[in-house]
Amino acid sequence: MSAPLSAYASEIYLQGMGGVLPPFTTDSCALEQAAREALEPGPFWYVAGAAGSGATNRANREAFDRWRLVPRMLTGATDRDLGTTVLGERLRAPIITAPIGVQSIVHPEAEKAVAAVAAELGLAMALSTVSSFCLEDVAAANGDGVRWFQLYWPNDEQVCLSLLARAKAAGFTTLVVTLDTWLLGWRPHDLDRAYLPFLTGEGLANYFTDPAFCAPLDKPPAEDLPAALMRWLPVFSGVDHTWDQVAFLRENWDGPVVLKGIQHVDDARRALDCGVQGIVVSNHGGRQVDGAIASLDALPAIADAVGDSLEVLFDSGVRTGADILKALALGARAVLVGRPWVYGLALGGTAGVRHVLRSLLADLDLALALSGHASAAGLGRDALQPH
Ligand SMILES: Cc1cc2nc3c(=O)[nH]c(=O)nc-3n(C[C@H](O)[C@H](O)[C@H](O)COP(=O)(O)O)c2cc1C
Ligand SMILES: O=C(O)C(=O)c1ccccc1
């Protein structure tokens, strides 16, 4: 874990020189196609799909292309440090694995794979409420790694308090509250296939192992799935909470609270007023609101408004090392990465997640080096030019 990140690029190049092929592509933009060939259409489109016409998802990528890095020479960037502190915790690079629900639809190792690899690589992981394994099992797989718990804010106070207490007891440090998915977006790929994995109970491990969730049920979820699902649906969705209720979460979580799904600068200011510690500028990978702005286009103004007082994290569309540099230069402290390593999970379980994240770290290190920067912390807007 203490080897410099540059070792990953050297290792992959040396293997190439010895004629050893990587397990699958090193081109993170080609992962989607590789996963498409490996997965059944239902799970593939669940992961790759987006809201409506897909416009927001496309906009997320197009926005990265509208910024270009301006490389600097002879800066002496021989020894690089990608390490950073996020919400008081030291990470080896400014990367957090995004909370992704129902991972068992692509591979049986599911969240345990990313938990193990994130810890091994010194990155933080964010575990979804809607995970295939319960949070205690994922915590065990993450060992002494940095783990955050993502909350889908339950419409039941007892279930909410119980999940928070369990996550805290299992060593999750930061609470990430996702605000943009209190209803599922309009997702034609899933609707056309009637593919809604959680309706078979998949992804509901945290609920089905929860005493407060199970209390009103006559039988355990395994013995009466329809009844458990009828309880889950209104607990999960249908109610938009309000800003004044954020205090409840802050009061009941002993640690940093981050609000995920912020796109408007006024919402970033409201987050600051609420007393939370951070935000994730995110549009959920374009899966919720069709025709919305690119998440990257929301970032600069938000970072300008609250970046000195809140930790501003970013996601939606990050694929390459260059993308990460761009997000950092535009004011993010770290990025969350979603689909790329989920495709890696689909293609090779734990080893597949490892290959994707090591490749991304190698790419990031080389992008930083060859743009003439010795540390990610010093990146400013002068590292970029609009295109
Ligand atoms: C299959 C899938 C499941 C997701 N599940 C969750 C979830 O349970 N909780 C959450 O906050 N975000 C969820 N997200 C959104 C991600 O956390 C993240 O915001 C998004 O994937 C970032 O965009 P990217 O995939 O382009 O990197 C999910 C995204 C995908 C693709
Ligand atoms: O699919 C998603 O984007 C998501 O956040 C989710 C919601 C419910 C269950 C599983 C994943």
pLDDT tens profile 184-234: 999 999 999 999 998 899 999 999 999 999 999 999 999 999 999 999 999
Separation of 285 CA from ligand 1 center, angstroms?
6
Q: Which two tokens stand for residue 304?
A: 């300008």
Ligand nearest to the CA of 95: 1
Q: What is the DSSP letter of 375?
A: B
pLDDT tens profile 260-279: 999 999 999 999 999 999 99
Where do we find the tokens 């970032």?
299
Q: Is 100 part of any domain?
A: yes
Q: Is 1 part of any domain?
A: no
- Categorize the per-residue pLDDT at 2 as very low, low, confident or very high, splitting at 50, 70 and 90: low
- Categorize the per-residue pLDDT at 131 as very low, low, confident or very high, splitting at 50, 70 and 90: very high
- Categorize the per-residue pLDDT at 109 as very low, low, confident or very high, splitting at 50, 70 and 90: very high
| H/E stretch holding 229 | helix 225-236
User: How far, in Å, CA of 382 to CA of 358, rounded?
Assistant: 28
pLDDT tens profile 20-52: 999 999 999 999 999 999 999 999 999 999 999
Q: Quick one: pLDDT at residue 377? A: 82
Q: Is 173 part of any domain?
A: yes
Whose Cα sits closest to atom 11 in ligand 2? 101
The minimum-distance atom of ligand 1 relative to the CA of 57 is: 26
Q: Is 48 part of any domain?
A: yes
Q: Kindly state the average pLDDT of the residues 104-133.
A: 98
- In this prediction, the answer to ipTM > 0.85 reads yes
Q: State the Cα angle at 134 between 130 and 140, rounded to 5°.
A: 130
Q: Which two tokens stand for residue 351?
A: 């080893």
Domain count along the chain: 1
Residue to probe by mutation, ligand 1, list 100, 104, 177, most atoms within 8 Å of CB: 100
Residues forming a β-bridge with 177: 151, 259
Q: Quick one: pLDDT at residue 382? A: 96
Q: Which domain holds residue 204?
A: 6-72+81-386
99 lines ligand 1 (CB under 6 A): yes
Give the Å distances, CA to CA, from 305 to 264, 308, 312, 325, 378. Answer: 11, 8, 10, 20, 19
Q: Is 130 part of any domain?
A: yes
pLDDT tens profile 66-92: 999 999 999 999 999 999 999 999 999
Q: Is 292 part of any domain?
A: yes
302 contacts 268 by C-beta, under 8 angstroms: yes
User: How far, in Å, CA of 20 to CA of 22, rounded?
Assistant: 7
- Indicate which CATH number applies to the domain containing 373: 3.20.20.70
231 contacts 216 by C-beta, under 8 angstroms: yes
User: How far, in Å, CA of 11 to CA of 104, rounded?
Assistant: 30
What is the average pLDDT score of the chain? 97
